[in-house]
Structure 1
Amino acid sequence: MSHRRGLLIVGLLVPALITFMLWAFTWPVARSAPHDLPVGVAGPPVATDRIASQLSDADGAFDVHRYPDEAAAREAITHREIYGALVADGQGPRLLTASAAGPAVAQLLQSIATGQAAEGTEVTVVDVVPGPAADPRGAAFTAGVLPLALAGLATGAAITATRLRGRWALLALACSAPLIGLAAAAVGHGWLDVLGGGWWQVTAALSLFALTGAATVAGAAALLGPRGIGLGALLLMLLGNPWSGAGSAPELLPEPVGALGQLLPTGAGATLLRSVSFFDGHGAAFPLVVLLAWTAAGVAAVLAGRRRAPHRPAPAGPAAATPAAPAAA
């Protein structure tokens, strides 16, 4: 490597990469605000019209759903149709939340409900789907998303580094992903008890999460070479992790980051894991489709990369092998 090229990398490319990472990680947090956040109001129209109007007038912050009573709102929360609901049925103001869907959203709704209540009126807060007792703020859940994304990246990079191709690469994916899922379930579900749901369902979601990341990186590397690992890092880590909404909610991220993050493997994996762990699989259909689509694309790329003949330099001919005749005196 020439000195000029090294100076270019150290002096320009590295600062540009750090600037990009700072933007990708800090901008969504700094501009966190609700965008079409699904919330509900429950009760007779005469009591809920004012509340629904105030929420609807909040400049696109909330997507308001109406329900006839508290039972219907509770069902909508457990089915992941809304994040919470304000109940006004003449029995005192109540707020239904689901901290398992995102503690940040639950706190936001609680502050809104308190602000809308009449002076001196206390709002009763009911956590319909609480987070696990070992992780009430969801910090462990959020922290666990990054290692899963890193596991997919490392597996895909290892397949590339060991030059596994075709069916051998697919066999490596099929063997590593379930082991990663089992290890993650043993830590998060068994030991730390920060994941709910059934053991095998959670293990399957974790395994698919890891498989999707690994297949994406391995497929990109099969087509692009080592540069594919950088593309995989971009999709899984640099953009996928901060845009996943795992620490808050996709609807709290700036537009269109929240929607784009759910189309990437990390965001879809986090949403699938949350649905399986705390909501009996409700809301898992869309992220499941996204993960399967990325996995299928990665597998297809691995197989397509195997069919590409590696470039080899042409052997030197006799003329090239024969040393040049000495110049005539």
Structure 2
Amino acid sequence: MDETSDATGPTPRSPMRRLVTGPNKSALVVSLLVSVFAALFVTSYSLAMGNPKPHDIPVAVVSDTIAPKQLDSAIDAATGTTFDVVRLPDQAAAETALEQQQIYGALITGGGSTATVLVSSASGASIATLIRSEAPVLGSSFGVTVTITDVNPLRPNDPSGLVLFYLALAATIIGFVGAIQTRVNASGMTIRGELGWDAGRAALVGLVIALTTGPVLGFETFPLVPVWIVLAMQVFIAGAVYNFFRVLVGGKWALMPTWILFILISNPSSGGAVAPQLLPPFYEFMGRWMPTGATVRALRDLAYFPGAVHPEPYIVLGVWLVVATAAFVIARRVRFGFGRVAKD
């Protein structure tokens, strides 16, 4: 009821009192929290990707006449940004370094009036665009005419290099949304049943989005099985993190810390939309160790650098998978045991 009683009879509650009592109180708290999270979302993505600023971008020079310090000074004068320039012995070494994603570009001169600038769009489209735009200016400063060669171009259906980021983003969001919907609509399972459906759902979602992006729609070309495994791992990790928080703080609030971890930190720091060297230091550092960043790097290797696959992303994903699953199992065992839980 919206009334209270005293000796003189019922007394209507004021609108403000009704707002902070009963179900209205919970609705008010949720509204305030959602508003705060909306502001944090805009702030996080704007800080990470709103104004990309290159810093310490690794590039190389292959030249008998241009020293690394000279190229560094010329780039700094042309762009106002910092690059980390190293000297390599020949073009083959530069191409190998680009394939290994150790550098983003290379200036190669042969002693004449022409020079070649090698870039790798697949390593970072935004950095490749920056190098392309400044290459003629750099050539003029050294008295050479520059020809630009992209040794790892992006697919025609993905000229901005964002499809792999969207894959990781889809795996992340569907990962914890699927876990939420499973717990809401299929309560009462044992822990074996929960983990079994989590694994099955992750495998199915990973397969569907890999097939859709690759063979079905042709947005990307990649080896299906390895990409499927990486995406399934990301789906499972996102769901396992939500499951842990659901046991820890309850189903009403578990989405909040999951949202902070993945949507506010992991996704904008992933390096999928903006290359890591263009992100602020906090996001650049976090992206290396967060699951979405590891997923993006693993997918990029598989799609564009199959001969130079790096182990680090798989190690990061493996650690997250083991730790998140163990944390959920331990927390559930302590709070509910391994049996059926009708409602937690």
Q: TM-score range by the shorter chain?
A: 0.7 to 0.9
- Alignment partners' CA distance in 2, 1:273 and 1:100: 11
Q: Aligned-pair distance for 1:279?
A: 0.7
Q: Aligned-pair distance for 1:221?
A: 2.1
Please tell me whether residue 187 in structure 1 is matched to residue 209 in structure 2. no
RMSD over aligned Cα atoms:
2.6
Change (3 A) 1:166 1:10: closer
| Aligned-partner residue type, residue 66 of structure 2 | A
Q: Does the 8 Å CA contact 1:39/1:84 hold for their aligned counterparts? A: yes
Corresponding residue for residue 57 of structure 2: 37
The superposition leaves residues 126-179 of structure 1 with CA deviations (integer Å, 9 ceiling, x where unpaired) of 111111122122243333332221111112323433344522222122211121
Q: Give % identity.
A: 29
Corresponding residue for residue 283 of structure 2: 257
Which of 118, 133, 152 pairs up with 2:175?
A: 152
- Alignment partners' CA distance in 2, 1:66 and 1:167: 56
Q: Aligned-pair distance for 1:48?
A: 3.5
- Alignment partners' CA distance in 2, 1:150 and 1:187: 17
Task: List runs of 5+ in structure 1 lacking aligned partners.
Answer: 312-329
With structure 1 as the length reference, what TM-score do the two structures score?
0.85
Corresponding residue for residue 22 of structure 1: 42
Q: Does the 8 Å CA contact 1:153/1:236 hold for their aligned counterparts? A: no
Q: Does the 8 Å CA contact 1:243/1:261 hold for their aligned counterparts? A: yes
1:162-241 counterparts in 2 under 5 A?
Answer: 162-163=186-187, 164-226=189-251, 227-241=253-267
1:1-329 counterparts in 2 under 5 A?
Answer: 3-4=19-20, 5-6=25-26, 8-9=28-29, 12-44=32-64, 46-49=65-68, 50-55=70-75, 61-90=82-111, 92-118=114-140, 121-161=144-184, 162-163=186-187, 164-226=189-251, 227-280=253-306, 282=308, 284-310=310-336
With structure 2 as the length reference, what TM-score do the two structures score?
0.81
- Alignment partners' CA distance in 2, 1:89 and 1:204: 45
| Aligned-partner residue type, residue 99 of structure 2 | T
| Aligned-partner residue type, residue 25 of structure 1 | Y
Change (3 A) 1:248 1:11: closer
Corresponding residue for residue 325 of structure 1: none
SS at match of 1:22: helix
Corresponding residue for residue 7 of structure 2: none
Q: Does the 8 Å CA contact 1:153/1:233 hold for their aligned counterparts? A: no
| Aligned-partner residue type, residue 271 of structure 2 | G
Q: Aligned-pair distance for 1:8?
A: 4.6
| Aligned-partner residue type, residue 101 of structure 2 | R
Q: Does the 8 Å CA contact 1:220/1:301 hold for their aligned counterparts? A: no
Change (3 A) 1:65 1:191: farther
Task: List runs of 5+ in structure 2 lacking aligned partners.
Answer: 1-16, 338-344
| Aligned-partner residue type, residue 94 of structure 1 | T
- Alignment partners' CA distance in 2, 1:256 and 1:283: 25
Change (3 A) 1:288 1:10: closer
Change (3 A) 1:281 1:183: farther
- 130-139 or 288-297, larger mean C-alpha shift: 130-139
Number of aligned residues: 310
SS at match of 1:123: strand
- 276-285 or 18-27, larger mean C-alpha shift: 276-285
- Alignment partners' CA distance in 2, 1:292 and 1:265: 9
Q: Aligned-pair distance for 1:215?
A: 2.0
SS at match of 2:222: coil
- Alignment partners' CA distance in 2, 1:279 and 1:230: 36
Q: Aligned-pair distance for 1:216?
A: 2.0
